[in-house]
Amino acid sequence: MKTDILIIGCGCSGLYCALNLPKNKHITIITKSDAESNDSFLAQGGMCMLKSQSDYKSFFEDTLKAGHYENDKESVDIMINSSADVVKDLISFGADFQKDENGNLVFTREGAHSSNRIIFHEDITGKEITSTLLREIKKHDNINLIENTSMIDLMTKDNICYGAVLQMCDGKIEKVEADYTVLATGGIGGLYKHSTNFSHLTGDAIAVAIKHNIELKDISYVQIHPTTLYSNEERSFLISESVRGEGARLLDKNGNRFVNELLPRDLLTKAIFEQMKKDNTEFVWEDLRPIPKEHLISHFPNIIEHCKTMGYDVTKECIPVVPAQHYFMGGIKVNHQSKTSMQQLYAVGETACNGVHGKNRLASNSLLESLVFAKRAAIDIAKNNNPIKDNKFIDSINVNQYTDIENLLESYKKIVKDKIETSTKKENK
């Protein structure tokens, strides 16, 4: 198989990258599961946007403060100043964000934000954005989306990427030659017992990067979300930070408020764990009743409905919440154009690390960062369209070496877990 650009992953970053590539290029997108089973679909709260230049300094400072000032400042500047352009694109594709009676965007607030700067669609903003991008993708004949197809390995030689080895939906192993390859494989939640992520997202791109000596960055920076619904479900259901931004309170076992709910995620998570230990409980309580009922119903219908199916009426009672793994701030090291340390290989979205988030991600910067730097990758690919080719090398790769795929993918999980554990120990010394 041959394609001009191979994109591995179909979350919002992979899709948006494809839509910004030249229309005369053949683009192949693959996804490990179905097209809607990615974490972009799960994002609830919203997406940050620079609503006016008067908010720039505050937005910049909030992002750095949440990231413990370990952020790449140029990346943060690029993200903030590119936000309006991204929103304009999304609206042109048909994305529906909350507007007031005059047709102006409505902004909400989340933890660690000093002002309202988050656009949203009810409490399913990620689904609205990603489904809009999926619909747009289907309008383009030059883009082919293949579901239930996994990346097994990259084809590399002398620090140049020539494409990837894939396991197709029928189990067959195929070599896919590509002028440029974009890794957009999402997060690492499948490595954890409690996570808001889909379980099939296990950091395959990180494992392959380690195998091929591709540079990584901040690999130990794993974010825990403070509030997920306490249950026995396989995937932890996230109770959006927007809920606390709109007035929800966190309570101990005696019904007493014990923390400022708008602390940065890592600090709030620490406070919740400390309270659980003090109370000898496996969760704390979140009270959504301080939010006016009409606003609660209109802004958070998905959360209300899910809690109802789990036996809780949030308009009448508190819900049990517990922290769970949520986001990976580290990843494959990229520059401001999303280029990796390997030629002809890019990485975008949660897979990549350009330093925007620092040590802790500010709420609702994930969708924005993913989209901004996905577009920059596409622009850079189009600008530098002079790929190195090596057909003899590609022909020499024997796919029969990939015999036990199940064990190979399990070994990838161990590689990533070991790397994160080792890096964490070094950081804590």
48 token code pair: 């940050």
Active-site residue (options: 109, 244, 249, 265): 265
Whole-number Å distance between alpha carbons of 402 and 167: 10
Q: Which residues of 214-244 are buried (b: 16+ CB within 10 A; e: fewer)?
A: bebbbbbbbbbbbbbbbbeeebbbbbbbbbb
At position 105, the amino acid (one-letter code) is L
Report CA-CA distances (Å) from 360 to 206, 355, 419.
Answer: 19, 10, 19
**265 included as an active-site residue:** yes
Find the helix packing angle between 73-93 and 366-383, rounded to 10°.
90
DSSP 103: S
- Quick count: other Cβ atoms within 10 Å of Cβ 388? 12
Kindly state the tokens that stand for 117.
């700067």
Q: What is the rounded (10 degree) CA torsion for 251, 255, 258, 261? A: 30
Which DSSP state fits 104? P
- Answer for the pair 133, 12: CB distance below 8 angstroms, yes or no: yes
Q: What is the DSSP string of 37-80?
A: -SHHHH--S-EE----GGGHHHHHHHHHHHTTT-S-HHHHHHHH
Beta bridge partners of 327: 223
**How many other C-beta atoms are found inside a 10 Å radius of the C-beta of residue 404?**
9
Find the length of the chain. 429
SS3 (DSSP) at 407: helix
Residue 383 falls in which region: left (phi positive, over 0), alpha (psi -120 to 50) or beta: alpha
DSSP letter for each residue of 257-273:
B-S-TTS-HHHHHHHHH
Q: Which two tokens stand for residue 166?
A: 């894939």
Residues with a known catalytic role: 265
